[in-house]
Homo-oligomer: A and B are copies of this chain.
Amino acid sequence: MSNERFDRGWKKLKEINGESGERITENLKEIAPDLAKYVIEFPFGDIYSRPGLDLKSREIATVAALTALGNATPQLKSHINAALNVGCTKEEIVEVIMQMAVYAGFPAALNGMYAAKEVFQERD
């Protein structure tokens, strides 16, 4: 029955970030397949599938939080990609990351910006 949440999450993750689902599942399949399952189910099947906030705003929130926390670069890059996929412009992403200088300091904003730069270059 949790299949319903998983299926919804897998579809949502596909919509947001292409092959992310496969990559996480592949990375964790030997060590912790259930963590991959939870990643699909809770964040994507439950949270990102909720009404009440559009996907663009959800990705802005996530890029902001991961830039501010400053200790999860792979996930930040993944969500910069996701933000672009759901309709954010590069400029909007740059603005969100720059704004984090105010709330988490300039090093967090700079390191977030370098992550964005890599993502933008990979996509070009």
Contacts and interface: CB of A to CB of B under 8 A. Distances in A.
Interface string A82-114: 000000000110111111111111111111011
Query: Which of A30, A35, A48, A65 has most chain B Cβ within 10 Å?
Result: A65
Contact of A94 (B48, B52, B101, B120): B52
Interface in A54-103: 57-58, 60-72, 74-75, 91-92, 94-103
A61 to B, nearest CB: 4
Interface residues of A, number: 64
A65 to B, nearest CB: 4
A91 B32 CA distance: 9
Given A31-B116, A35-B101, 18 more contacts: A1-B4, A27-B114, A35-B113, A38-B98, A43-B102, A53-B99, A57-B96, A61-B99, A64-B64, A64-B65, A65-B65, A65-B68, A65-B103, A68-B68, A69-B104, A71-B111, A104-B104, A105-B105
